[in-house]
Structure 1
Amino acid sequence: MAGAIIENLSGRKLSILIGGLMLCQLVCFLVGGLIAPAPSSVMPVLGTKCIDKHFGWNTWYQAREPGQCNTVDSFEDPIIHEHHISANDIVFSFQIPLRFGGELEYSRWQQNLIAMMQVDIVYDPEVEVEPDTVLTLEARLGYRNRGDPEGQWTEYARSTEERTLDCHIDEEHKREGYQYQCSLLPLFELGSLHHNFYLLNIRLPTDSPEGKIMNSGLGRLQDVWVAFIHTNGGFTKVWVTLKTIFFPMIVGIMVWFWRRIGQLSRPPALLEFMLMGLGAALTFLNCPFEYLTLAFDCPWMTLLADIRQGLFYAALLSFWLIFAGEHLMDDIERNRLRVYWRHLSAVLGGCLCLFIFDMCERGVQLRNPFYSIWVTQVGTNLALSFIILAGVCAGVYFCFLSYMIWKVFMNIGSKRQSLSAMSSSRRMHYEGIIYRFKALMLATLLCAAMTVIGFILGQVSEGRWKWDDDIELEYTSAFFTGVYGMWNIYTFALICLYAPSHKRWPKEESKTENFTAGHMDITGWDSDQAEMIKAKSCFHTRSTFGTRQPK
């Protein structure tokens, strides 16, 4: 029976395959660095102060349309004192996108929209900001499409929310006119940017119909800013293009691989099942569902993207553990999934925790986009704990995987001594197999390191760097597209190289009976030596490299 392609593929063909895959990997990095823009952009907008003594949520307040907003520049304007305007009569209006020399509009390629709010508070010794002040706001979000009348807005969401202010000022700056340093407050998140124009109205009431006093410890409020963050359409086009290219490639190689497995007289091995599971998870990740957002409003798209990413992480991390464990070449009988239940429980438990956290955040946002788990101290601590714990677990996992691969290398080194008893042609054959296997293990370690770095980078922050004055590289985009391409290329290479080969072993020129014990030729050995070699062969018969049977 034939073995894996990685064992029998000629050096020339293997070099061509590896060279082509490395070229594809380079292209993925260059596409992200030279063609794709930054993954996201930020648009800070200063709220326009609209005054209305007869405030009501049946009215939309916008500064661009005459008569729909009686504006004032500051709260020190004489009109406010003359007409006895209170905080209940002031609405902050934000209309996006901004106008830069013409009417701009959002594109559905920009995928999602996140809003972060910041308040400008001036220091006043008579009304200082109280620590951990609760900011109560009434927010209303509306949208308008191209072709709709100018003043016609459709309500998207409305909510009354509370946010905890974290403001501080240095002692030397506690003078009138200096501003507090206040942290950003999460406002809302849209999983789909389906409409062309959006209008946000925010009101900071001082009392409620029930007589409850609100926003009493804000100090001297001056302005309200909202930073609108959206995915760049150019980056989305590059990202979806990569998915469109990789999706049929992985599907095709999986069909080809499973057809070869079906031609064998034995049942599929555990490693082959894991390869199919990894390919299925990657196929689900590659499927370009983003095309749906061009025609339909899909607020669940961000949640779906997180679920797809989590399933792929679980499949990839589980595969690496089993891949290394199946080649440890010790005396433990494996090739069964229950042998790895401790390893897989840790991986699946971590992914399940991240899934629960994501559902608590983005799952609730499907009903109320103004909801955020970060608004309370308990929620903030819980969210930070999840992120820190996920980063620590990723680092620990990488160390553990490195230890397992190191152990595989040590076992290979200790059992290579038996190769000296072989004929020169056989010894060279197995030396080549060992060399290829070690190179594949090192590629696995590199892929794991890049995956961990990409995961931490995506969780913590995004960066933007410039190389020189002539060429601008988007390092974040290059890393994202490069790692994504690496996942597809790595999975493609594994499925291709671990598929059953049609080639047979070369026959030994000997009339004596040949025995094979995990790829070890024991022709001419006595029975005791043969049994010893069978028990301590260089490659265990349960591994992918040991799928051959005596001919």
Structure 2
Amino acid sequence: MAGAIIENLSGRKLGILIVFLMLCQVVCFLVGALIAPAPSSAMSVLGTKCIDKKYSKDKWYYPRGEKRCRSISSLDEPVVEQDNIEANDIIFAFQIPSPKDNFALDYSRWQQNLLSVMHLDIYYDDDAKFDPNAVMTIEARLGYRNKGDPDTKWTEYASSVEERTLDCYIEPRHMRAEYIYNCSSVPMFELGSLHHDFYLLNIRLPMDTAKESWGFIHQNGGFTKVWVSLKTIFFPTMVAIMAWFWRRISLLTRPPALLEYMLMVLGAALTFLNCPLEYLTLVYDCPWMTVVSDIRQGLFYASLLSFWLIFTGEHLMDDIERNRIRVYWRHLSAVLGGCLCLFIFDMCERGVQLRNPFYSIWVFINISSKRQSLPAMSSARRLHYEGIIYRFKVLMLATLLCAAMTVIGFILGQVSEGQWSWDDNIKLEYTSAFFTGVYGMWNIYTFALICLYAPSHKRWPKDQDTQSSTGEEIEFSRLATEPSEMSSITAFAKKTAAD
């Protein structure tokens, strides 16, 4: 009898494989913990108040370098009254990255992306009525410059007039001129590619603002190098294991089973996720890279959820005829519909959402009930199926662990966005180790599934004794003996359900 490799693998070989995969998992965690820095860094930049009574949209205002703008440090300076400076005459300039220890810094293309949030300090004024929830109109202009360019050469990257709703409040006892409104940070823009060395942001606001600071969050180049290195290793590995798996399938006389198709879909989605497209950003400006990354991760999540659903359904061990995709159309429609909604939300809100059901936990209950029929079997068959169930439970434990870590990884990714809000003091030094560990776990888990569920060329001998100790004959006619059979554990379960 021939089945999947997991059903014919000896305990010693299975133990060696588990130890090897666990070592690979530990290495992935250690790479993130010992080599990679934190995934992202935040930098707060205080805006320079450039003044110009003859403001021009074609003129750049920058605080450092030759021909820098005329600026003031406070709205209380005498020049404000002398020149009758109004809010529309003030341009807030942010030249990034800021120098450190009198050393000019520049962005690296390894840093991949840049997020920006704005924080306003607005003084309370008895003479001016301010709506704490007002809609603020922002005239923004973003430019860039590269090394070797003169200080005056700034090229426009994007410009827009945006509206943002403020969320400010002030306690009644603080409604005096020297107090400032407590305003929430306002997200502004996101760059999916840091292709240039320096960036300049010019902002005009239609109100008197005491101080405006911006937070710029970028991915660390060191983390990107480690992340892309892992992808470079995992990508050819998954391509090779998928080619090996499909070759073994093609040698059989039967068409591929549904579970085998789903393994190929899962492997293809993970291979697409592993493809190190980030190398393109080192040569080309790829502002769409963030969207592509979200799509790749979304496809993998959808494939993983669909695989878990079908994987569990194929091993429910009931008398329902399965191995057909239409049997799962309701469940898959729910998964795909949910993923589609999340994709639309992602395209609109730039967030990633995940709903990960632990549907596979019910398989343990079903297996335990089926195990009660084992004592009625002959010795050879009982030992064979006990070995299969043991291996299957080990695999289900890995499935639950993978599901739990995936959910935790998603939540951690969402929590890390709390850095956008400067009211939160979040320290995530362990994030790199967790992210690289979960990413490695996805590859190791898929690698193990493809290896263990590949068709085996081994056969186990038939047992001629088909009578139990009670003299009752056990019929196994539904357990096929040809290489074209389904998984033995599934066939056995379906037979016991029918009995």
TM-score normalised over the length of structure 1 = 0.83
CA distance in 2, matches of 1:239, 1:544: 39
**For the residues of structure 2 that align with 1:307 and 1:544, how far apart are their CA atoms?**
37
Which residue among 246, 271, 278 is the counterpart of 2:234?
246
Structure 2 counterpart of 1:236, which letter?
A: T
Give the superposition deviation at 1:523. 5.9
- List aligned pairs for 1:269-288, cutoff 5 A: 269-288=257-276
Counterparts of 2:173 and 2:214 in 1: how far apart (Å)? 28
379, 393, 404: which one aligns with 1:424 = 379
Q: Report the alpha carbon displacement of residue 536 of structure 1 after superposing the two structures with TM.
A: 11
* Partner Cα distance (2:299, 2:40) in 1: 24
Checking the alignment, whether the CA contact within 8 Å between 2:378 and 2:468 is kept in structure 1 is no
Q: Is the 8 A contact 2:97 2:199 kept in 1?
A: yes
Is 1:18 the counterpart of 2:18? The answer is: yes
The answer to whether 1:45 aligns with 2:45 is yes
- Given that 1:129 and 1:167 are in contact with CA atoms closer than 8 Å, whether structure 2 keeps it comes out as no
Distance 1:410 1:57 in 2: 69
User: Which residue pairs with 1:503 in the alignment?
Assistant: 458
Structure 1 counterpart of 2:190: 189
Task: Say if 1:96 and 1:119 are closer, same or farther in 2 by CA, change over 3 A.
Answer: same
Aligned to 2:292: 304
Cα offset for 1:473? 8.4
Q: Does 1:522 align with 2:466?
A: yes
Is the contact between residue 96 and residue 197 of structure 1 (CA under 8 Å) also seen in structure 2?
A: yes
Note if 1:449 corresponds to 2:393: no
Amino acid in structure 2 at the alignment position of 1:16: I
Separation of aligned partners in 2, 1:298 and 1:107: 14
Query: Are the equivalent residues in 2 in contact too, given 1:111–1:293 (CA < 8 A)?
Result: yes
1:245 alignment partner AA: I
Are 1:341 and 2:329 an aligned pair? yes
How far does residue 128 in structure 1 lie from its aligned partner after superposition? Answer: 4.4
Is the aligned partner of 1:161 residue 2:162?
Answer: yes
Q: Is the 8 A contact 1:271 1:544 kept in 2?
A: no
Any conservation in 2 of the 1:167–1:180 contact (CA below 8 Å)? Answer: yes
Taking structure 2 as the reference length, the TM-score comes to 0.91
Asked if the contact 1:463–1:476 (Cα under 8 Å) also holds between the matched residues in 2, the reply is no
Q: CA deviation at 1:442?
A: 1.4
Change (3 A) 1:153 1:463: closer
AA aligned to 1:39 is P
Distance 1:332 1:525 in 2: 30
Deviations 1:200-245 (A, max 9, x none): 11112xxxxxxxxxx4xx5x52011111110000111111011011
Aligned twin of 2:105: 104
Counterpart of 2:28 in 1: which secondary structure? Answer: helix
Aligned-partner Cα distance in 2 for 1:246–1:170: 55
Identity %: 69
Q: Provide the residue aligned with 1:375 in structure 2.
A: none
Contact map agreement 2:3 2:486 (CA 8 A) in 1? no
Separation in structure 1 between the aligned mates of residue 412 and residue 381 of structure 2, nearest angstrom: 47
Q: Which amino acid aligns with 2:377?
A: M
Matches within 5 A, 1:311-350: 311-350=299-338
Q: Which residue identity is paired with 2:161?
A: T
Contact 1:5 1:501 in 2 (8 A): yes
Aligned to 2:50, what secondary structure does the other structure show?
Answer: strand
Deviations 1:378-412 (A, max 9, x none): xxxxx8xxx7xx46x44xx23xx1xx532x22332
| Residues 462 and 476, structure 1, Cα contact 8 Å, conserved in 2 | no
Between stretches 347-356 and 173-182, larger displacement belongs to 173-182
Shift of 1:527: 12
Change (3 A) 1:544 1:246: farther
Q: 1:473 to 1:47 in 2, by over 3 A?
A: closer
The equivalent of 1:223 in structure 2 is 211
Instruction: Work out the CA distance in 1 between the residues paired with 2:54 and 2:300.
Output: 54
Check whether the contact 1:114–1:190 (CA below 8 A) recurs between aligned residues. Answer: yes
2:416·2:428 contact (CA, 8 Å) conserved in 1? no
Cα distance change of structure 1 residues 35 and 463 upon mapping to structure 2, 3 Å threshold: farther
Structure 2: how far apart are the matches of 1:160 and 1:239? 36
Equivalent-residue separation in structure 2 for 1:543 and 1:20 (angstroms): 25
Q: What's the offset of the Cα at 1:130?
A: 0.8
Change (3 A) 1:83 1:473: closer
* In structure 1, C-alpha distance between the alignment counterparts of 2:82 and 2:429, rounded to whole Å: 53
* One-letter identity of the residue aligned with 1:266: R
Query: Are positions 1:56 and 2:56 aligned together?
Result: yes
CA distance, structure 1, for counterparts of residue 74 and residue 290 of structure 2: 38
Deviation at 1:89, TM superposition (A): 1.3
Q: State the distance in 2 between where 1:19 and 1:224 align.
A: 55
- Does residue 150 of structure 1 match 2:169? no
Offset at residue 291 of structure 1 (A)? 0.3
Structure 1 stretch displaced more, 451-460 or 301-310 = 451-460
Counterpart among 258, 273, 276 of residue 246 in structure 2: 258
1:118 CA displacement:
1.1
**Does residue 435 of structure 1 match 2:374?**
no
CA distance in 1, matches of 2:116, 2:372: 64
Match of 2:138, SS? strand
Distance 1:346 1:95, change over 3 A: same
Return the letter of the residue paired with 1:38.
A
Give ranges in structure 2 of 5+ residues lacking alignment.
420-426, 493-499
Q: Is the 8 A contact 2:66 2:152 kept in 1?
A: no
Please state how far the C-alpha of 1:288 moved relative to its aligned partner: 0.2
Equivalent residue number for residue 424 of structure 2: none
2:429 aligned partner: 474
Q: 1:328 is aligned with what amino acid?
A: L
CA contact (8 A) 1:121 1:179 kept: yes
Alpha carbons 1:6, 1:433 under 8 Å: kept: yes
In the aligned structure 2, how far is the partner of 1:38 from the partner of 1:151? 34
Rounded to whole Å, the distance in 2 between the matches of 1:15 and 1:192 is 44
CA offset at residue 506 of structure 1?
2.6
Give the corresponding residue for 2:361.
405
The one-letter amino acid of 1:405's match is I
Distance in 1 between the 2:99 and 2:305 partners?
47
The residue type paired with residue 277 of structure 1 is V
Is the CA contact (8 Å cut-off) linking 1:115 and 1:229 kept in structure 2?
yes
For the structure 1 residues 437 and 463, does the alpha-carbon distance in structure 2 shift closer, same or farther, using more than 3 Å as the test?
A: farther
Tell me how far apart the structure 2 counterparts of residues 326 and 69 of structure 1 sit (CA, whole Å): 69
> CA separation in 2, counterparts of 1:56 and 1:27?
56
Cα deviations by residue, 1:353-394 (Å, 9 ceiling, x for unpaired): 1111222356xxxxxxxxxxxxxxxxxxxx8xxx7xx46x44
